[in-house]
Amino acid sequence: MADIGGIKLEWFDKKVLAKAKDLLHAVSREGAKMIAQDARSKAPWDTGDLATDIRVEKSKFDDGGFYVIAHGPKHLGKYYASFVELGTHKDKAQPFMRPAAKGNKAKIIKKWKDALDKL
């Protein structure tokens, strides 16, 4: 707290930081969901197993965050999605995750800025 010429200023940093963390957490989750939805629509559709396996998971780290995860059909192994995304020596790459992330980047950044303006 500071007293500047009769004006009393107080900074409730714990409250502000907690609110900012909650807002950014919510926007990050929403952004991850946007990327996942877009990736599902961009994923090559053969059996549909790859697209339906794309999901959002909370990060295991204390600072939070979210992952957009794609594995694909279990019988093809946990690396199937990366083989589709990046290609192999036999198959051409069919990117779906990177374009989804890139295509939503500006929207997510705007959502973060809008959320911080509400503080």
Min mean pLDDT across 28-32, 64-68, 74-78, 106-110 is at: 74-78
pTM of the model: 0.81
Q: Cα separation of 68 and 7, whole Å?
A: 48
Amino acid at residue number 6: G
User: Three-class SS of residue 5?
Assistant: coil
- 11-66, pLDDT tens digit by residue? 667 777 778 788 888 999 999 999 999 999 999 988 788 998 999 999 988 777 89
